[in-house]
Structure 1
Amino acid sequence: MPSVGRAAVFFGPGKPFEIREVPLPEIEPDAVLIKVSLANVCGSDLHFWRGDAPLRLPEDGWIFGHEMTGRVAKLGRNVKTDSLGRPLREGDRVAYTYFYPCGRCYVCLNKQPAACPAKIERPRGPSEFPHFHGAFAEYYYLRPGGALFGVPDALSDELVSPVNCALSQVIFGLQEAGLRFGGSVVIQGAGGLGVQAAAVAKDMGASTVIVVDQLPGRLELARAFGADHVINVKEVAERKERVTLVRKWTGGMGADVACDFVGFPQVIPEGIEMLRPGGAYLEIGTISRGAKVELEPATLVWGAKKIVGVIMYDAAVIPRALDFLVRNRTRFPFDRLISHKYPLEQINQAFSESEWHNRETTKISRAALVP
Structure 2
Amino acid sequence: MFEGRIARFDAPGTPFVIETVTLPEVGPGEILVKVTRTNICGSDLHAWHGTFATRGLGGQLPTVLGHEMVGAVAALGDGVDTDSNGKPLTEGTRVVFPYFFSCHRCRNCLMGRRNACLNLTMAMLGRADQPPYFVGGYADYFLLPAGAVVYTVPDTVSDDIASGANCALSQVMYGLDRVDLQLGEIVVVQGAGALGLYAVAVAKARGADTVIAIDGVPDRLELATAFGADAVIDINEAATVKDRAKIVRELTGGHGADVVVEVVGHPSAIDEGLKLLGQFGRYAEIGNINIGKTFEFDPSRFVFGNKTMVGVSLYEPSVLSRALTFLERHRDHLPLDRLAAAQYPLDDINEAFAAAEGKRDVRASIVP
TM range (shorter): over 0.9
The letter for the 1-side match of 2:189 is I
Query: Identity over the aligned pairs, expressed in percent?
Result: 47
Aligned partners of 1:272, 1:21: CA distance in 2, in Å?
A: 48
Classify the secondary structure of the residue corresponding to 1:78: coil
Give ranges in structure 1 of 5+ residues lacking alignment: 357-361
TM, length-normalised to structure 1: 0.95
RMSD of aligned residue pairs (Cα, Å): 1.6
- Aligned twin of 2:364: 367
Does the CA contact (< 8 Å) of 2:214 and 2:235 recur in 1? yes
Classify the secondary structure of the residue corresponding to 2:104: coil
The letter for the 1-side match of 2:301 is T
Aligned partners of 2:297, 2:95: CA distance in 1, in Å?
A: 43
The letter for the 1-side match of 2:50 is G
The letter for the 1-side match of 2:3 is V
TM, length-normalised to structure 2: 0.95
Aligned partners of 2:244, 2:149: CA distance in 1, in Å?
A: 42
- Aligned twin of 1:21: 20
Does the CA contact (< 8 Å) of 2:23 and 2:131 recur in 1? no
1:245 Cα deviation from its structure 2 partner: 1.1
2:40 maps to 1:38: no
Give ranges in structure 2 of 5+ residues lacking alignment: none
Bigger shift: residues 155-164 or 44-53 = 44-53
Aligned partners of 1:127, 1:64: CA distance in 2, in Å?
A: 13
With over 3 angstroms needed to count, the CA separation of the structure-2 counterparts of 1:53 and 1:93, relative to structure 1, is closer
1:339 Cα deviation from its structure 2 partner: 2.4
- Aligned twin of 1:359: none
- Aligned twin of 2:203: 201
Q: What CA deviation, in whole Å up to 9, does each residue of 1:260-297 have, x standing for no partner? A: 11111111000011011111111111101111111222
With over 3 angstroms needed to count, the CA separation of the structure-2 counterparts of 1:304 and 1:60, relative to structure 1, is closer
Does the CA contact (< 8 Å) of 2:2 and 2:25 recur in 1? no
Aligned partners of 1:105, 1:265: CA distance in 2, in Å?
A: 32
The 5 A counterparts of 1:1-371 are 3-56=2-55, 61-119=62-120, 123-356=125-358, 362-371=359-368
Q: State how many pairs are aligned.
A: 365
The letter for the 1-side match of 2:147 is G
1:253 Cα deviation from its structure 2 partner: 1.0
Does the CA contact (< 8 Å) of 1:25 and 1:131 recur in 2? no
1:117 Cα deviation from its structure 2 partner: 4.1
Aligned partners of 2:305, 2:269: CA distance in 1, in Å?
A: 18
Aligned partners of 1:25, 1:285: CA distance in 2, in Å?
A: 38
Aligned partners of 1:277, 1:314: CA distance in 2, in Å?
A: 29
Aligned partners of 1:229, 1:58: CA distance in 2, in Å?
A: 41
Classify the secondary structure of the residue corresponding to 1:146: coil
